[in-house]
Amino acid sequence: MDFTLQSLADTAIAFAILFAVFLPLERLFPAQKTRVFRAEWGIDLCFFLGQYLLWTAPVVAALVFVNRYAAELPLQGVRAFVAAQPFWLQFVGVILISDVCIYWGHRFSHTNKFLWRFHRVHHTAPHVDWLAAHREHPFDNLYTRLIENLPLILLGFPLEALAGFAMFRGLWAIYIHSNVTLMPGPLRFVLGGPRLHHWHHAQSDDAGVNFANLSPLMDLAFGTYHDPGRMPESYGIHEDIAHGYVAQMIEPLLPAALLSRNPPAPSESVQA
């Protein structure tokens, strides 16, 4: 946990840049008519601050630890083969492998009872926008980062390159959560966009859809693609659960017997 003046300054700068970029977009091309300081804006701000000030460093440390010991595994032949490939092919491999891992890891977090306890925190947001993208339990964040990076690390892709791509994925994640109607036109089947991910957060009977992060090709391949051509009317989950920041940090860690609000039995229909 680093509370240095530099980390506080970096967090303030990051917030200012994202605010300056996404607020005008959400005002000019709104998917839903909402106030800037809408309900639970303060809670989502706490999640933003928590990610930047508390939880990013442990995740990076975990990836560095995995990378350090991955070289000791008997995978030298595979790693040498990957290293010998041209950059463009490595780049394509990074995208495809990480997309496959993210899709199935994300889908599994909706069907596994233990993982859903943490992942459902992300789905409690009653409004989906650039700031709500940061509503994520740190264990869920660690799980996602490991899922998308572990195979790439084992295959020998350099951690520096993965870090750069992870930064792009982070910005893309904020974009697809943003409250905007902008879509990439004919490329929507390759790059997706906010409308697809908003349906993943919709409080509706359309369940288990749009699990992909960057490209919806996996959703198209496995029958989870959903795009009715409009934005959903409401977001969140049907469960009556606590929405406070501290409560959402603690509740997933407690035994179900101690909770008055228990997570539902997971299934492909667990969707928010």
Measured distance CA(98)–CA(108) in Å, rounded = 15
Query: Is the separation of the CB atoms in 196 and 226 below 8 Å?
Result: yes
Q: For 45-71, how does the pLDDT look when each residue is reduced to its tens digit (9 = 90+)?
A: 999 999 999 998 898 899 888 888 887
- Residue 30 domain-assigned (yes or no): no
Q: For 221-237, how does the pLDDT look when each residue is reduced to its tens digit (9 = 90+)?
A: 999 999 998 999 889 88
| 10 pLDDT higher than 60 | yes
- Residue 129 domain-assigned (yes or no): yes
- Residue 98 domain-assigned (yes or no): yes
The upper half-sphere exposure of residue 145, i.e. CA atoms within 13 Å in the direction of its Cβ, equals 26
pTM of the predicted model as reported, rounded to 2 decimal places = 0.88
- Residue 65 domain-assigned (yes or no): yes
- The structural domain count of the chain equals 1
- Residue 4 domain-assigned (yes or no): no
Q: Which domain holds residue 103?
A: 38-258
C-alpha 109, offset from chain centre: 12
Q: Which residue has the higher pLDDT, 88 or 26?
A: 26
**What separation in angstroms does the CA of 55 have from each of 2, 5, 188, 271?**
10, 17, 32, 25
- Residue 118 domain-assigned (yes or no): yes
Name the token pair of 192: 């997706």
Q: For 170-198, how does the pLDDT look when each residue is reduced to its tens digit (9 = 90+)?
A: 999 999 999 999 887 778 788 889 999 99
Query: Is the separation of the CB atoms in 29 and 183 below 8 Å?
Result: no
- Residue 200 domain-assigned (yes or no): yes
- Residue 23 domain-assigned (yes or no): no
Query: Is the separation of the CB atoms in 240 and 233 below 8 Å?
Result: no
C-alpha 241, offset from chain centre: 21
Specify the pLDDT at position 3.
61
